[in-house]
């Protein structure tokens, strides 16, 4: 059982997945910084100096922080757009490889 587990861990798919997760975590930190430190302050400045992180409603003892929710939506849109660009570039590379004529024997 231990050797099967080792064989499973050393397969290419598991290692590729682990690398993807690590890169995804690092990418998330970069995107969060871009959103929180660059994009949202500019948007807030354009609409009158509003800090989105501070936007909230208070209903009794509950605080509804809808500004943080708006930032999460912008994060999602930026990540989605960047992933779209990456997938689009990969698809173009695959099409170029398929369109290349085969080498003569």
- Read off the pTM: 0.60
Domain boundary assignment for the chain = 2-99
Give the per-residue pLDDT at 19: 81
Q: Which CATH fold would you assign to the domain 2-99?
A: 1.10.1200
Tokens at 17, concatenated = 């997945």
Maximum Cα–Cα distance across the chain? 78
Contact between 63 and 97 under an 8 Å Cβ cutoff? The reply is: no
pLDDT tens digits along 17-54: 788 888 888 888 888 888 888 888 888 888 887 777 78
């Amino acid at each position: 059982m231990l050797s099967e587990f080792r064989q499973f861990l050393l397969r290419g798919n598991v290692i590729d997945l682990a690398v993807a997760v690590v890169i995804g975590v690092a990418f998330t930190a970069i995107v969060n910084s871009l959103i929180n430190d660059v994009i949202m302050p500019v948007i807030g400045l354009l609409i009158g100096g509003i800090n989105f992180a501070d936007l909230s409603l208070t209903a009794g003892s509950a605080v509804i922080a809808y500004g943080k929710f708006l930032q999460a939506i912008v994060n999602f849109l930026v990540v989605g757009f960047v992933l779209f660009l990456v997938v689009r570039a990969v698809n173009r590379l695959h099409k170029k490889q398929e369109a290349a004529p085969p080498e003569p024997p």
